Structure 1
Amino acid sequence: MTDVHIVGAGAIGLSFAHSLSQRHNVSVITRTFPSHKWNISEHQETKPINATPVALTPSLSLSITNCFICVKAYQVSQAIADVLPYLSDNANIFISHNGMYDLSEVIKQLTPNQALFFISTARGALKLDNHHVKITGYGDTYIGACNLRAHTMITRVFETFFKGILSECFIHEDITLLRWQKLLVNIAINPLTAIHQIPNGQLRQPKFSATILALLNEACTVANKAGVKIPLSAALDSAYLVMSRTSVNFSSMAQDIKHGRKTEIEAICGYVVTQGQSLNVPTPRNAQILQALTNKH
């Protein structure tokens, strides 16, 4: 049993907190203390999450050895800045977010002995209120190494924090491919569920198929031009599998639009549009969706 700190008390952060607390001492770093204990609902059963809330203050004496950062893509930079002074010299840092974020900016701030990992998960979770999260679907979780130290540590951390704790979890050897695969699922699901305010499973209706095909075709063309070989058929299969496994879940972007919050569309369709421009690949459908959701902010 070891100490784990989680940044981000959202649906995924709290679901990770619950799973990891089965074997480890878990603290959740939060800006505002919850008025009562966090709870999680799964398989028609509700139970408390065994995690302690922690607020980072200048006077706090804290050494973080294992840090899971589960925030929005646009919040990663601030989250890293917040925890960096508290990270031990040999800390393991795990980042999980939708879309793409330039992890090289994070790596530059770490010491040679600090390991950075990326987590891609298809688990579905919905935050019912500030204190209650519900598991709404199950899917594969992958972990990949982002720097040299992580490559040497990945087997050990997988055994410690993932194997037997999170169902259907695997080590992924190619972090660039892993992040693109995650991005493609996000492109297929998040924007359309946000615009139409529907759960993931409803995207399997035929009326959405042409749009999903167009979005993924553009994204796969950009990826292939960038040297990441992902067949369109594989991207479609992955997206529809996640839709099926998380059919009743409302995506994080759908929730953001519903509650008037900023979305991660810049890191999803926006990333494809920007990369397409630099590689001279047209991405009109992604640009259209980017504009539609940007206007909703």
Structure 2
Amino acid sequence: MKNTPWLVIGAGAIGLFWACKLEKLGNKVHLVYRSESPGKKITLESLTDEEGQQQVSESKHKIKSFKASELTDQYDKVLLCTKSFDLKDAFLQIADHVTENADIACLCNGIGAQEELQSTLLDTQTLWAGTTSEGVLKIESNHIKHTGLGDTYFGQWRTQSEPKEFPVDNMTVTNIHQRMIEKLAVNAVINPITAIFNIHNGDILNDEFKPLVEATLTELSSVFTHPQFSYAQESQHLTSENLKNRVHTVAQLTRLNRSSMHEDIRLHRQTENSFISGFLLANSPIELPVQRLLYNGVAFAEQREEVKKKLLSLP
């Protein structure tokens, strides 16, 4: 892969982290921000080393940052790190600066936004959907903290395309849809519950939430193992026990973290509810009363107290 610059879209925690990571791997990186410029240097503070051992270190990364309207170059490698609901519009703002055979990657929560983005691309461009479990916090506009090591994978969104390698080594997978469904399943439990009840991720393991978590997992497994679910081929293995193990592991590993949905509600920002619970409600072949309650509890602040009571009284 020729060493042309990466264009990273989004100056949130994940966008800044990936700009630093790509630069650290020897790439030239240009970053597009929307409202707050990170300046010319980004500080990356790490709390763990590459082996996951606790070790605080700090590095500075020189990254050129622009507003979309200031771009002049053409890019053949683009990484979009935006919220799901911003994905398509963020790409359209820079589409004139993307080559006709470019690799276009996205890291966002949920499912649905990827297909919206795919519909805007040329047939000669390749869309890579990604999923990551890296833990990152944004401290200031040019300062992020890497709080936990995780894995990141990218796969071609259109599986009928000729198989290619992602332009970063050791991140290509062929089963990206399966990995995204697995992440969606975990997000559909942790995100709405922590957001509605204003709790940390690990708190969902407390006794008071056990019946709610169990009911959510049972309902989700009935969707994922249903032969008429739209991603049935990738989700059959997600039984209630499998889901329980995944959710408990993530909740335990990130027990002191606050989910992105929790933070969005706390800061009165738009959430990715439509691409998580909303995606499930729109694509499930069966009724999902628990997921409907979780969706409503996030979407409608005025219903939240009533939804809480209903969720806590689930058998």
TM-score, normalization by structure 2:
0.82
Instruction: Structure 2: give runs of 5+ residues left out of the alignment.
Output: 48-55, 303-315
- The answer to whether the aligner puts 1:56 opposite 2:61 as a matched pair is no
After TM superposition, the structure 1 stretch with the greater mean CA deviation from structure 2, 32-41 or 112-121, is 32-41
Match of 2:276 among 262, 268, 278: 268
After TM superposition, the structure 1 stretch with the greater mean CA deviation from structure 2, 8-17 or 126-135, is 126-135
Contact 1:115 1:153 in 2 (8 A): no
CA distance change for structure 1 residues 102 and 260 in 2, over 3 Å: closer, same or farther?
A: closer
- Give the superposition deviation at 1:151: 4.6
Matches within 5 A, 1:136-147: 136-147=147-158
Q: Secondary structure at the match of 1:61?
A: coil
Contact 2:132 2:151 in 1 (8 A): yes
After TM superposition, the structure 1 stretch with the greater mean CA deviation from structure 2, 185-194 or 237-246, is 237-246
- Give the superposition deviation at 1:107: 2.3
Q: Secondary structure at the match of 2:131?
A: strand
Which has the greater radius of gyration?
Answer: 2
- The answer to whether the aligner puts 1:41 opposite 2:49 as a matched pair is no
Contact 1:6 1:13 in 2 (8 A): yes
Contact 2:4 2:75 in 1 (8 A): no
- The answer to whether the aligner puts 1:135 opposite 2:146 as a matched pair is yes
- One-letter amino acid matched to 2:203: Q
Contact 1:67 1:92 in 2 (8 A): yes
Match of 1:296 among 295, 298, 301: 301
Instruction: Structure 1: give runs of 5+ residues left out of the alignment.
Output: 164-169
- Give the superposition deviation at 1:197: 2.9
Match of 2:168 among 161, 167, 190: 161
Deviations 1:46-76 (A, max 9, x none): 333332211122x742211111111111111
- Give the superposition deviation at 1:244: 2.6
How many residue pairs match? The answer is 283
Contact 2:114 2:129 in 1 (8 A): no
Q: Secondary structure at the match of 2:270?
A: coil
1:121 corresponds to: 132
- The answer to whether the aligner puts 1:84 opposite 2:99 as a matched pair is no
Contact 1:115 1:148 in 2 (8 A): no
Distance in 2 separating the partners of 1:236 and 1:171 = 27
Q: Secondary structure at the match of 2:164?
A: helix
Match of 1:241 among 249, 253, 257: 249
CA distance change for structure 1 residues 30 and 207 in 2, over 3 Å: closer, same or farther?
A: same
Contact 1:123 1:140 in 2 (8 A): yes
Q: Secondary structure at the match of 1:46?
A: strand
Contact 1:29 1:55 in 2 (8 A): yes
Matches within 5 A, 1:1-297: 1-22=3-24, 23-34=26-37, 36=39, 37-43=41-47, 44-57=56-69, 60-147=71-158, 151-154=162-165, 157=166, 160-163=167-170, 170-225=171-226, 226=229, 227=232, 228-229=235-236, 230-276=238-284, 279=285, 281-296=286-301
Deviations 1:33-58 (A, max 9, x none): 5264432221233333332211122x
1:167 corresponds to: none
Deviations 1:249-283 (A, max 9, x none): 2221111112111111121112212223xx2x121
Distance in 1 separating the partners of 2:34 and 2:161 = 28
- Give the superposition deviation at 1:221: 2.1
Distance in 2 separating the partners of 1:270 and 1:239 = 19
CA distance change for structure 1 residues 35 and 115 in 2, over 3 Å: closer, same or farther?
A: closer
Q: Secondary structure at the match of 2:109?
A: coil
Distance in 2 separating the partners of 1:71 and 1:216 = 28
- Give the superposition deviation at 1:139: 2.4
- One-letter amino acid matched to 2:184: L
Contact 1:116 1:150 in 2 (8 A): no
CA distance change for structure 1 residues 184 and 245 in 2, over 3 Å: closer, same or farther?
A: same
TM-score, normalization by structure 1:
0.86
